[in-house]
Amino acid sequence: MIEILAVLGTPLAGAALLALLGERDFAATINVGVSFVTMLAAAALTVRVLVDGPLLVLDRQFFVDSFNVSLTALTAFVGFTTALFSRPYMRIEQAHGRLTAARLRLYHAMYQLFNFTMLLALTTNNMGILWVAMEAATLATVLLVSLYRTPASLEAAWKYFILCGVGIAQALFGTILLYFAAEKLLGAEGGALLWTSLNDVKGQLEPTVLSIAFVFLLVGYGTKVGLAPLHNWLPDAHAEGPTPVSAVLSGLLLNVALYAVVRCKVLVEGSLDSAFARELMMGFGLLSVVIAALLLSRQKDVKRLFAYSSIEHMGIATFAFGMGGPIANFAGLLHMTVHSLTKSAIFFTVGHAAQKAGTQLTDEIRGLVTTNPPLGWGLVLGTLAILGMPPFGVFASEFLILITAMAVQPWATPVLLAALGLAFASVFSKIQPMVFGETTAKRLPVRPTMVPVFVHLALVLMLGLWIPPFLAEWYRQAARLIG
């Protein structure tokens, strides 16, 4: 119990502290410190779950099982490494005159608040609070996306707010329907929105209501996952916001939204006899993969390029959960983890590359390997990893998803393979000249931290070659639970 309180309390207190402290030079360091403590708390929580099994605490309001414990740990970890990356990055932005100290205060407070909302969404057992936390996550990031106050960033933030706001309103209606179906069995007081109680009675929930509810929940949370055709906000928000925000949006928020979808899917699947929920998820997933792959080749902005790549990978994971079964679910969970680590590492390198070149256009960034070898090689390795090259973890998860698809949904395999091939061609042909080639770019005023990039990539490499037994066991348990 104490671990949950620490995991949630640290970022919340950190947000208040950073807002009150104001425009201090050491605010970025405090931001890193708070994120570090959050990570330690999450590690303690992980150990607790490892030793004692699933936790259901505080009047059943919080629930941590094998499914969300790895995501909680991942969120706290990437939250910490991104804070580490953001310290020099935001200093350079300030030196380049794109930000004032007052904006940095807003940035740091909102960063912690955003972490809090994601951790709350992951650990809560209450489907209503899950909704509240997802909406709060949108709100915390709207002002981060518009941090630079440029016309494009304002437009991106407005789109983000309106599209995700409307989307999440659908999810609220879905949650109301879920409550409506459950209230008959569980009574109005308390238990009817708790996921664990719902999971116990899922076989008796009214199928008609649940299938309507699932459509709304999938569309609602799916908007935040970035599933096509509801993905329009995602590339804009990623490209126009500061890079640390792009890294946590892609690496963490999309995962949390997909987590919400999967939690709902477990309930709906238990109530329905048909493959309705699966088919819906497979359809949305595949559509996202195809649309993203087609749009990748037309991107000129490097951050937009990788934002589309996030849509593609979220589509793959959604498709995997849609197929269901122990292997596909295992692969889907692994894919969420490795995508999160790889994509945030890529954004770290891309952010500094864009700072060096003074632009985000792929045509104008050149010669990263010559001017800053760690940065250049980090980007090359990250790109190869995200494109599914062995021996990185993305290869392992995509391979598992493809072989399952061949076995259970053979029609989808050629589509997936073609999309992956197309994505490879589009992304690699754009990144290769950025990394090699000649350049006249200046040195950065503050030395960037490359440690997070290589730590992430090393973890992805490790997950491609060897998955720690306890993690594999969690994934297997979670895969059984998801069904």
Token duo for residue 189: 């007081």
Q: Shortest distance, CB of residue 46 to another protein, whole angstroms?
A: 27
Q: Helix, strand, or coil here: 449? A: coil
Q: For another protein, which is the closer residue by CB, 209 or 455?
A: 209
Token duo for residue 97: 């005159």
Which residues of this chain interact with another protein, rule CB under 8 A? Answer: 126, 128-129, 131-132, 135-136, 139, 142-143, 146, 149-152, 154-159, 161-162, 165-166, 169, 172-173, 175-177, 179-180, 183-184, 188-190, 192-193, 206, 208-209, 212, 235-236, 239-240, 295, 298-299
Are residues 285 and 216 in contact, defined by beta-carbon separation less than 8 angstroms? no
Q: Shortest distance, CB of residue 285 to another protein, whole angstroms?
A: 21
Q: Shortest distance, CB of residue 314 to another protein, whole angstroms?
A: 18
Q: For another protein, which is the closer residue by CB, 90 or 307?
A: 307
**Cross-strand bridge partners of residue 57:** 62
**Cross-strand bridge partners of residue 194:** 126
Residue type at position 48: R
Q: For another protein, which is the closer residue by CB, 209 or 461?
A: 209
Token duo for residue 477: 């348990």
Distances from the Cα of 155 to the Cα of 142, 237, 240, 269, 306, angstroms: 11, 9, 9, 38, 20
Q: Shortest distance, CB of residue 147 to another protein, whole angstroms?
A: 10
Q: What's the first-to-final CA gap in the chain, in angstroms? A: 28
Are residues 277 and 245 in contact, defined by beta-carbon separation less than 8 angstroms? no
Is the backbone of residue 63 left (phi > 0), alpha (psi -120 to 50) or beta?
beta
What is the Cβ-side half-sphere exposure of residue 463, based on CA atoms within 13 angstroms? 30
**Cα gap 352→56, rounded to integer Å:** 42
Q: Shortest distance, CB of residue 128 to another protein, whole angstroms?
A: 3
Q: For another protein, which is the closer residue by CB, 170 or 397?
A: 170
Q: Shortest distance, CB of residue 466 to another protein, whole angstroms?
A: 40
**Cα gap 172→129, rounded to integer Å:** 11
Q: Shortest distance, CB of residue 117 to another protein, whole angstroms?
A: 10
Are residues 324 and 482 in contact, defined by beta-carbon separation less than 8 angstroms? yes
- 10 Å Cβ neighbour count for 453? 26
Q: For another protein, which is the closer residue by CB, 81 or 175?
A: 175
427: closest CA among 394, 466, 382, 471?
Answer: 382
Token duo for residue 365: 């960034």
Long-range CB contacts for residues 26-29, cutoff 8 Å, separation at least 24: 27/104, 27/105, 27/108, 28/86, 28/87, 28/90, 28/91, 28/104, 28/108, 29/87
